[in-house]
C-alpha cells in the first residue's frame, strides 16, 4: 500500500530473517529451561509471531517474514516472550531499531543485545498541542500572564490489552509548582479528538504600563509544560502510561504562540541500566526498502529499454542482461526483472533468449543450468510467482498431513531412537515418497501455462544444442521443476507459503529425506544409488529402482514442456488461499438478533469466503466469490475499532476486524483480487457503517443508498501476478544507480575489447560481452536514462525540503529521521533511493 506524497507514491516493505537467540537468562526454578517465541512489531503493534521453541535458552527459529508496511512507524521491534500455560506470557527482552537506523543493518546478519521491557518506555503515537501566552488585567487592576494550553488530538496511540481509552494530563512545572489538569476520557479510540483548553497563571513581574509583552529568560527557564497520555484502566493496577511530552516555555519565543505536533516520548524513571548480553541476544537479518515511485511517464525511456531486451542481438547486449552483469548477486536483478516482464507479458521471450544464450555457452550437457546464473535465478523467481497455487493444489494437503501426524521416518541407523523400528520407519517414508511422487507426476495438466511455455523453450534449445544426448530435453526441464521447485518446497514449506512456520526438527528431517528422494527421482540420472553419499539412502532408493518411475517422470516432463497449448486452466478443486481468526460483526440476517462482535475462523478459497465457529467445524456462513461486490476499509469511527474492513454483498456488508494493520491489508488485497472479475462489482461504496438508521459517512437514511465514495483502484484478476510496473522499474533504476561504477567499468571493457585483440584484462574478465559495440550502445542509453531519473529524484527532494516544516503532522518534533534528513541535506547534494 503506497502513501501519496505530492505526485509520488511511497512504498515501504521489510524482509526479516529471524535466526536464533542465545544466552537467554534461565527460568528461576528447578527446570531452568524456557519455552520462547519471538514477535515482530511495528512500534507496539504485533504483525508476526514465530513458533514456540520449547525447553531451550538458545532457541533457533530460522523463520522468514516479509510484509508491505501500510503506515508510518518509528521503531521496528522484536520481543522475546516466555510462554506460560497458566499465566500471561512474560517478556524477557526486546530489540528496538529506529526507522532511520534500519539502513545500518541492511541485508547483514547482526547480533542485537536484548534490552529490558519497561512499561514506561513502551510508547508510540503523537500529540497536537497549541500554546498561547497572553497578558490579562484582573478586576483589581493587576497585570498577570496566563498560559493557554490547547490539547487538540492524538494519533496512533498503542492499544493496551485490546483497548484504548485515553486521556491527557497537563502540568505546568517550575521550581516550586506542579499544577495538573486532565482532559475527558475518550473511549475506544487510539486517535482521540480532545480539543480542550487549560489555563495556567504564569507569575511574572511586569509593569502595568508596559505595552509590549516581553518574556524574561530567568522566568522562562524555570517553567516547563508537561503533557502525559494515559489509558484509563478498570484494572486494580491503575491507569497505563502511554507517553509524555516536555517542553520549556521558551519555545513560545517573542510571539508567545506555539503550535506543533510532538512525538510522545518514554518516561525517564531512573531504572538501572542492564549490562550488554545480560538478557541474551537475538540474531536478525533486516532488509528495509523504501521505494519513491514517480508517475509512469517518468519511467518510459528506461522501461522501454528493458522490455526490448528479448529482441536485442546478442541478448548479452540488452539492458536486462547488463543489469545481471553489474549486480553483486544475480538474485538482486532477477526479482524486479521477472516481475516487470510478467506484468507486461514478455517473460517467455525474455527467458527464452537468455536461456538459449546460456545453453550455447555450455560445453557439457551434464552441467546445464547448474550455476547461479541470471537465467536460473529468473526462472526460479518466475516459478515462485506463477506456480504458488500450483504448489498449493499439489503439495499442501500431504505436507499438512506430514506436519500434523509426526510419523517416525528416520532411516539412518545411527540416529534411530530406541523406541523406533527401522523397517516401520522405512515403510512410513516410502509411503510418503510414493504419494508425493504420484501427486506431482499426475499434476501436469495443472501446471501454469507460463511455466509450460518456458519449459518448452528450454527443451527445444537444449535438444538443438546437444543433439547426441537424447535425455538432455528432459534434464533441462527437470533441473528446474524438480530440483528448484518441488524439492525446495518440500524441504522448506514455510518459504513457499505452504506452512506458516518452519517445521519442528523431527518433521524437518522427514521432509529432508523425502526431498532428497524426489529430487533424485526427477533427475533421471544414469546411476541413481551413486547420487547418495549415505549408504542408508542408497539402500532406501532401491524401492524406486523400477522403470515405471522413470517413465512417469518422462511422461510428466513431456506434458509440461509440450508445444501444445491449453486455454486458461480452470481448477475446479477449491484452493485454500488464506485462513485465520478475526472478529466479525453480526450481519443482521435475523431481523431481531443482536448485532454483536464475535471471534470466528475465516477461510477463503477460490470458490467462497466462509466463517466458522472454530477451525475444522462446519461453515456458519458462506459467501460465494461472485457475490462479493467490493472489499474496502471501514473508518475507525464507525465502531471505535481499528483495522476494520467490509466485504460488501448484494444485501448487506460484513464488517470484520483483523488482528493488525498488515493482516488487514493482506485480507483486503486477496479478497479484492479473487473478486476482481465479478460482473456486478461496485464503483462506489460507503466508507462508514450504517448505524441508527443512517450511513455515518453521508447521513443518508436508506440502507440501499448508493455509495458516496469511489471504490479503490482495480487490481489484476490474476492472484499471483499483482505487480506494479512503475515500482519495479524504480527498483531497477535503484540497482543501476547503486552499481553505476560497474556500468562505467563495463563501458571501459567494451572499449578495450573493440580496440585490443590480446588477452583480456583481469578487471574486465567478469563481464560477459559478446558484442562490444552493441553493448556499449545499450550502456550509453541506460546510463543516460538513470541519470535523468536521478536528477528528477534530487529535484523532488529539494522541493520537499523547502516545503517541509519541523513540528508538522508529517514531521513531529522529536522525529529523529527528520533531523537525519536535515543533516543529509546540509552535508550532501546527492540523493540516492
Q: What's the rounded Cα separation, in Å, for the pair 642 and 244?
A: 23
Rounded to an integer, the average pLDDT of 690-719 is 77
Q: What is the pLDDT of residues 571-581, one digit of tens each?
A: 455 667 789 99
Rounded to an integer, the average pLDDT of 29-50 is 90
Q: What is the pLDDT of residues 288-314, one digit of tens each?
A: 999 999 999 999 999 999 999 999 999
Inter-residue contact 485 to 394 (CB < 8 Å): no
Rounded to an integer, the average pLDDT of 62-74 is 89
- From residue 535, give the alpha-carbon distance in Å to each of 318, 413, 417, 426: 48, 10, 19, 14
Q: What is the pLDDT of residue 256?
A: 82
Q: What is the pLDDT of residue 218?
A: 45
Q: What is the pLDDT of residues 338-351, one digit of tens each?
A: 999 998 989 999 99
Q: What is the pLDDT of residue 220?
A: 59
- Give the three cell numbers for residue 744: 562505467
Residues 6+ apart with CB under 8 A from 587: 595, 621, 652, 653, 654
Q: What is the mean pLDDT of the chain?
A: 84
Q: What is the pLDDT of residue 528?
A: 52
Residues 6+ apart with CB under 8 A from 441: 552, 553, 555, 556
Sign of CA dihedral 803, 806, 811, 816: positive
Q: What is the pLDDT of residues 585-637, one digit of tens each?
A: 876 545 444 468 899 999 998 789 999 999 989 999 999 988 999 999 999 88
Q: What is the pLDDT of residues 374-389, one digit of tens each?
A: 999 999 999 998 888 8
Q: What is the pLDDT of residues 107-131, one digit of tens each?
A: 899 999 999 887 777 788 899 999 9
Q: Which residues, in sequence order, are bridge partners of residue 782?
A: none
Q: What is the pLDDT of residue 480?
A: 93
Residue 447 pLDDT > 90, yes or no? no
Q: What is the pLDDT of residue 760?
A: 54
Q: What is the pLDDT of residue 818?
A: 52
- From residue 487, give the alpha-carbon distance in Å to each of 517, 530, 531: 9, 19, 15
Q: What is the pLDDT of residues 242-269, one digit of tens each?
A: 999 998 888 887 788 899 999 998 886 5
Q: What is the pLDDT of residue 717?
A: 35
Rounded to an integer, the average pLDDT of 685-705 is 90
- From residue 472, give the alpha-carbon distance in Å to each of 164, 195, 348: 64, 75, 20
Amino acid at each position: 500500500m503506497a502513501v501519496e506524497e505530492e505526485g509520488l507514491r511511497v512504498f515501504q516493505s521489510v524482509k526479516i530473517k529471524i535466526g536464533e537467540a542465545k544466552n537467554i537468562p534461565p527460568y528461576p526454578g528447578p527446570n531452568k529451561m524456557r519455552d520462547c517465541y519471538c514477535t515482530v512489531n511495528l512500534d507496539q503493534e504485533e504483525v508476526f509471531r514465530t513458533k514456540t521453541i520449547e525447553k531451550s535458552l538458545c532457541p533457533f527459529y530460522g523463520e522468514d517474514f516479509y510484509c508491505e508496511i501500510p503506515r508510518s512507524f518509528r521503531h521496528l521491534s522484536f520481543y522475546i516472550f516466555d510462554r506460560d500455560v497458566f499465566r500471561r506470557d512474560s517478556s524477557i527482552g526486546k530489540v528496538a531499531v529506529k526507522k532511520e537506523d534500519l539502513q545500518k543493518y541492511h541485508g547483514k546478519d547482526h547480533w542485537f543485545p536484548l534490552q529490558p521491557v519497561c512499561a514506561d518506555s513502551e510508547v508510540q503515537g503523537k500529540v497536537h498541542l497549541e500554546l498561547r501566552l497572553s497578558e490579562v488585567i484582573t478586576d483589581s487592576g493587576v497585570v498577570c500572564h496566563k498560559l493557554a494550553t490547547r490539547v487538540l488530538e492524538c494519533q496512533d496511540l498503542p492499544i493496551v490489552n485490546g483497548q484504548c481509552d485515553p486521556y491527557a494530563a497537563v502540568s505546568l512545572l517550575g521550581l516550586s509548582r506542579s499544577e495538573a489538569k486532565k482532559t475527558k476520557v475518550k473511549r475506544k479510540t487510539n486517535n482521540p479528538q480532545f480539543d480542550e483548553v487549560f489555563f495556567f497563571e504564569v507569575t511574572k513581574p511586569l509593569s502595568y504600563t508596559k505595552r509590549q509583552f516581553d518574556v524574561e529568560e530567568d522566568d522562562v527557564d524555570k517553567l516547563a509544560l508537561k503533557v502525559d497520555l494515559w489509558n484509563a484502566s478498570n484494572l486494580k493496577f491503575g491507569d497505563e502510561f502511554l507517553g509524555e511530552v516536555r517542553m520549556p516555555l521558551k519555545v513560545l519565543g517573542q510571539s508567545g504562540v506555539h503550535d506543533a505536533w510532538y512525538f510522545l516520548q518514554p518516561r525517564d524513571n531512573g531504572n538501572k541500566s542492564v549490562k550488554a548480553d545480560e538478557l541474551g541476544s537475538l540474531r536478525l537479518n533486516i532488509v528495509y526498502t523504501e521505494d519513491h515511485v514517480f508517475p509512469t511517464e517518468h519511467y518510459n525511456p528506461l522501461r522501454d529499454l528493458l522490455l526490448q531486451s528479448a529482441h536485442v542481438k546478442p541478448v548479452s547486449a540488452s539492458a536486462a542482461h547488463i543489469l545481471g552483469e553489474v549486480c553483486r548477486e544475480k538474485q538482486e536483478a532477477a526479482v524486479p526483472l521477472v516481475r516487470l516482464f510478467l506484468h507486461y507479458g514478455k517473460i517467455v521471450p525474455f527467458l527464452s533468449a537468455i536461456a538459449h544464450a546460456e545453453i550455447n555457452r555450455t560445453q557439457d550437457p551434464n552441467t546445464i543450468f547448474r550455476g547461479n546464473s541470471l537465467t536460473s535465478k529468473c526462472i526460479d523467481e518466475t516459478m515462485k510467482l506463477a506456480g504458488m497455487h500450483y504448489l498449493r493444489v499439489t503439495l499442501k494437503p500431504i505436507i499438512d498431513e506430514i506436519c500434523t501426524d509426526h510419523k517416525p521416518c528416520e532411516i539412518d541407523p545411527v540416529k534411530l531412537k530406541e523406541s523406533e523400528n527401522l523397517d516401520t520407519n522405512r515403510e512410513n517414508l516410502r509411503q510418503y515418497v510414493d504419494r508425493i511422487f504420484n501427486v506431482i507426476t499426475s499434476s501436469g495438466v495443472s501446471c501454469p501455462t507460463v511455466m509450460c511455455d518456458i519449459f518448452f523453450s528450454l527443451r527445444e534449445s537444449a535438444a538443438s544444442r546437444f543433439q547426441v544426448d537424447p535425455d538432455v530435453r528432459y534434464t533441462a526441464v527437470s533441473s528446474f521443476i524438480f530440483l528448484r521447485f518441488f524439492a525446495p518446497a518440500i524441504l522448506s514449506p514455510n518459504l513457499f507459503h505452504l506452512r506458516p512456520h518452519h517445521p519442528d526438527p523431527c518433521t524437518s528431517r522427514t521432509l529432508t529425506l523425502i526431498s532428497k528422494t524426489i529430487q533424485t527421482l526427477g533427475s533421471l540420472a544414469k546411476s541413481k544409488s551413486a547420487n547418495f553419499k549415505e549408504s542408508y539412502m542408497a539402500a532406501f532408493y532401491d524401492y524406486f529402482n523400477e522403470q515405471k518411475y522413470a517413465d512417469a517422470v518422462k511422461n510428466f516432463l513431456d506434458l509440461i514442456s509440450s508445444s501444445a497449448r491449453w486455454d486458461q486452466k480452470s481448477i475446479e478443486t477449491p484452493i485454500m488461499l488464506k485462513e485465520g481468526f478475526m472478529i466479525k460483526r453480526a450481519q443482521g440476517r435475523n431481523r431481531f438478533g443482536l448485532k454483536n462482535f464475535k471471534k470466528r475462523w475465516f477461510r477463503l478459497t477460490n470458490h467462497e469466503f466462509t466463517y466458522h465457529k472454530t477451525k475444522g467445524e462446519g461453515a456458519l456462513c458462506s459467501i460465494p466469490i461472485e457475490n462479493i461486490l467490493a472489499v474496502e476499509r471501514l473508518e475507525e469511527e464507525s465502531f471505535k475499532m481499528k483495522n476494520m474492513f467490509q466485504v460488501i454483498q448484494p444485501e448487506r456488508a460484513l464488517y470484520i476486524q483483523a488482528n493488525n494493520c498488515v493482516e488487514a491489508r493482506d485480507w483486503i488485497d486477496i479478497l479484492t483480487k479473487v473478486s476482481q472479475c465479478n460482473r456486478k462489482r461496485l464503483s462506489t461504496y460507503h466508507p462508514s457503517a450504517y448505524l441508527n438508521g443512517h450511513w455515518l459517512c453521508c447521513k443518508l437514511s436508506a440502507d440501499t443508498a448508493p455509495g458516496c465514495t469511489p471504490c479503490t483502484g482495480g487490481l489484476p484478476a490474476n492472484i499471483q501476478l499483482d505487480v506494479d510496473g512503475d515500482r519495479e522499474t524504480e527498483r531497477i533504476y535503484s540497482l543501476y544507480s547503486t552499481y553505476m561504477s560497474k556500468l562505467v567499468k563495463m563501458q571501459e571493457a567494451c572499449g578495450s575489447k573493440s580496440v585490443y585483440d590480446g588477452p583480456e584484462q583481469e578487471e574486465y574478465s567478469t563481464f560477459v560481452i559478446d558484442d562490444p559495440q552493441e553493448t556499449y550502445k545499450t550502456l550509453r542509453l541506460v546510463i543516460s536514462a538513470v541519470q535523468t531519473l536521478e536528477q528528477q529524484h534530487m529535484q523532488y527532494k529539494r522541493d520537499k525540503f523547502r516545503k517541509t516544516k519541523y513540528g508538522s503532522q508529517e514531521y513531529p518534533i522529536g522525529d529523529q529521521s527528520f533531523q537525519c534528513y536535515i543533516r543529509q541535506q546540509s552535508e550532501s547534494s546527492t540523493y540516492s533511493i
